[in-house]
């Protein structure tokens, strides 16, 4: 701004010299002349701010947001997301068992129908590794349950017959709260919210919820979501390529994260998707895959498989060297800064299925200016505390799922020293 005002001040001073020039210069700074110049300065600042907003609004970056980002995504990348809230969809796997003296699987159970409208619930669990709220679900289709068992185990004296059925469900309310992220080693539990046709049978032989899985619920579109879709569209509109599968997946508002990997042994593209809660149900994955074929985002003769993402918690153990003894009393603040950076590292990268010890060490070293160095980092399994090796960057062929690594809430163990 000072460069814009300099010619005006030079013109005011003209050919004046000595005291006259000094008095005129004083008037240009604090007097009536200065009022006019400051007015021009305010106008120039408004113009510069408007130009800056226009420049930002023409770029796909994190500083652009709101309506300008949506207009840019629409006009330049044809990337428009539906804004309507959506409920989570998924499936409930019910199981019942009965012990008999015969292996014959026919006529073991009471036959019946689980009607559309059957109710299920998932209790809240705020202490979980990924905290969840209470959510309710309703079945969307009637499911016929036969008299026959689907599996038999045991011996001649006691045969255990088991019957499992899958019931498609939808959350009763829109939003992410009904999504069910799958955590490594933790069952996706749920409960019946009413009675089924087998309520008259002994409790041990009634249906119970074995697994409740739902995903794709969302309330509103975020700027990060619009930006990711627009960037994917920029490379995905040129043909039925791998990038078009990413763009097509992100065109569904319920999808937030996509990882693709070639299965060269079977000539199939593996697509691992997750919603905002890092969840993916089989029913939502099947519907998403159908959308990709219908548009079509997938070219003629191409094959794509939609697969799940499993969240795997880890603990981190590391030594941290501080720059001086005066920072020794700030350990709590430094630990909070390190945790924030690590959580972001695991959550925001497109290659969420890998981590590297060197990258973790660099992030910890740069998390706070009071940190001098982080010589090493050990990544441990949260459940067993076993030391983990760095995962391979290449996803194996015909992999049913990939891990999304994340830092457990109590999984940061730092030993501080003074440099």
156 pLDDT tier (thresholds 50, 70, 90): confident
pLDDT > 90? residue 30: no
pLDDT > 90? residue 116: yes
| Residue 240: per-residue pLDDT | 79
Mean pLDDT of the region 29-53: 87
pLDDT > 90? residue 291: yes
pTM of structure: 0.86
Q: H/E element holding 117?
A: none
**Range in 141-145, 155-159, 176-180, 318-322 the model is least confident about:** 155-159
Torsion of CA 55, 56, 60, 63, to 10 degrees: 170
| Residue 41: per-residue pLDDT | 87
pLDDT > 80? residue 409: yes
**Range in 20-24, 266-270, 377-381 the model is least confident about:** 20-24
Mean pLDDT of the region 97-121: 95
Mean pLDDT of the region 354-363: 96
Question: Residue 50 and residue 44: Cα distance in Å, rounded?
Answer: 10
pLDDT > 80? residue 31: no
pLDDT > 80? residue 29: no
Instruction: Give the rounded percent of residues in the chain with a pLDDT score beyond 70.
Output: 100
On whether the CB atoms of residues 198 and 112 are closer than 8 A, the answer is yes
| Residue 74: per-residue pLDDT | 93
| Residue 141: per-residue pLDDT | 96
Report pLDDT digits (tens) over 210-252: 999 999 999 999 999 999 999 999 887 777 788 999 999 999 9
DSSP string, 159-221: EEEEEEEEEEEEEEEESGGG----BTT-----EESS--TTTTS-GGGS-EEEEEEEE--BSS-
Q: What is the mean pLDDT of the chain?
A: 93
CA 302 and chain centroid, separation: 27
16 pLDDT tier (thresholds 50, 70, 90): confident
DSSP string, 141-160: S-EEE-SS-SEEEE-SS-EE
Q: What are phi and psi of 45, to 5 degrees?
A: -65, -40
| Residue 3: per-residue pLDDT | 83
Domains of the chain (ranges plus CATH)?
Answer: 2-57 (no CATH), 87-215 (no CATH), 236-307 (3.30.70), 310-418 (no CATH)
27 pLDDT tier (thresholds 50, 70, 90): confident
Mean pLDDT of the region 75-99: 95
């Amino acid at each position: 701004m000072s460069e814009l005002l300099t010619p005006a001040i030079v013109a005011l001073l003209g050919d004046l010299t000595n005291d006259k020039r000094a008095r005129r210069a004083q008037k240009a700074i604090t007097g009536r002349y200065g009022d006019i110049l400051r007015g021009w300065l305010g106008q120039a600042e408004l113009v510069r701010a408007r130009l800056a907003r226009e420049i930002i609004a023409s770029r796909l970056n994190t500083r652009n947001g709101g309506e300008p980002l949506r207009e840019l995504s629409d006009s330049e990348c044809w990337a428009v997301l539906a804004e309507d809230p959506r409920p989570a969809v998924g499936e409930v796997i019910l199981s019942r068992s009965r012990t008999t003296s015969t292996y014959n699987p026919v006529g073991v159970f009471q036959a019946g129908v689980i009607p559309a409208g059957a109710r299920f619930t998932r209790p809240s669990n705020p202490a979980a590794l990924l905290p969840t709220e209470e959510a309710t679900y309703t079945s969307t289709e009637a499911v016929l349950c036969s008299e026959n068992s689907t599996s038999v185990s045991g011996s001649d004296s006691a045969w255990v017959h088991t019957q499992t059925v899958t019931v498609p469900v939808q959350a009763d309310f829109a939003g992410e709260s009904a999504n069910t992220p799958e955590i490594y080693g933790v069952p996706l539990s749920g409960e019946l919210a009413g009675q089924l046709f087998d309520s008259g049978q002994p409790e041990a032989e009634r249906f119970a919820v074995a697994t409740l899985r739902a995903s794709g619920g969302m309330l509103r579109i975020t700027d990060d979501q619009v930006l990711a879709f627009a960037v994917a569209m920029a490379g995905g509109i040129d043909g039925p390529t791998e990038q078009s599968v990413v763009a097509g997946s992100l065109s569904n508002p319920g999808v937030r994260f996509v990882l693709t990997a070639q299965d060269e042994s079977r000539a199939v593209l593996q697509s691992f998707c997750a919603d905002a809660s890092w969840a993916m149900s089989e029913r939502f994955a099947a519907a998403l895959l159908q959308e990709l074929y219908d548009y079509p985002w997938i070219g003629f003769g191409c094959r794509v498989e939609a697969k799940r993402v499993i969240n795997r918690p880890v603990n981190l153990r590391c030594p941290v060297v501080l720059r001086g003894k005066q920072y020794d009393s700030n350990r709590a603040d430094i630990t909070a800064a390190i945790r924030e950076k690590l959580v972001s590292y695991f959550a925001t990268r497109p290659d969420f299925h890998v981590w590297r010890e060197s990258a973790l060490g660099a992030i910890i070293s740069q998390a706070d200016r009071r940190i001098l160095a982080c010589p090493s980092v050990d990544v441990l399994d949260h459940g067993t505390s076993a030391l983990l090796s760095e995962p391979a960057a290449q996803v194996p062929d015909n992999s049913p799922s990939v891990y999304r690594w994340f830092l457990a809430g109590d999984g940061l163990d730092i030993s501080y020293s003074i440099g």
